[in-house]
Amino acid sequence: MTESAFVSSVAFFPWVALAEPISLGRSVRLLPHKKGRAPGDTDLAKQADLDNVLRAYSNGTHWRVSEATLIEADGWRTGMDADDATRERLFRARIILGFSALSYRRLFSPRAKRRAMSSPHVATRAITAPTASRCVSHSW
């Protein structure tokens, strides 16, 4: 499959829940995701698609994640195509946020420290056939 087949991307911390959006300077935005409720449908991403991407994550062995934090950087918004430069900015934001959160122990609980550097995952939905099925690929 070629890079041009990827139609949209989502960046998120699957084990972090926010009550409200947070802006970090002018370049990074953290948005709450609540299964079936938030952020709701936008022009670029549907709530059902975001819920489906997050179905792959759980808190422990049997509890699926129902809340997460979406990450947006610079001009990139959830659901837009993510080129290499955008993915680099998102992963750089992950490192900075993870390090900062660990130093304050506010974003991640002590039990989740090991997860800090494994988030966010950029999930890309790909169209595999004109009529058809979608698949999700994850980048770490």
Give tens-digit pLDDT for 102-118.
776 655 555 555 555 45
Q: Is residue 97 part of a domain?
A: yes
Q: Is residue 137 part of a domain?
A: no
Inter-residue contact 53 to 10 (CB < 8 Å): yes
Give the range of the structural domain holding residue 30, as residue numbers without chain letter: 12-121
Q: Is residue 1 part of a domain?
A: no
Q: Is residue 134 part of a domain?
A: no
Q: Is residue 82 part of a domain?
A: yes
The sign of the dihedral angle between the CA atoms of 55, 116, 39, 11 is: negative
d(CA 83, CA 63): 33
Cα angle value 89/7/119 (rounded, 5°): 40
- Please state the pTM of the whole predicted model: 0.71
Q: Is residue 130 part of a domain?
A: no
Split into its structural domains, the chain has a count of 1
Q: What is the pLDDT of residue 132?
A: 39
Give tens-digit pLDDT for 49-105.
999 888 888 877 778 889 999 999 999 999 999 999 999 999 998 888 888 777 766
Q: Is residue 16 part of a domain?
A: yes
Q: Does an H or E element contain 127, and which?
A: strand 121-127
Q: Is residue 70 part of a domain?
A: yes
Give tens-digit pLDDT for 8-50.
899 998 888 899 999 998 999 999 999 999 999 998 999 999 9
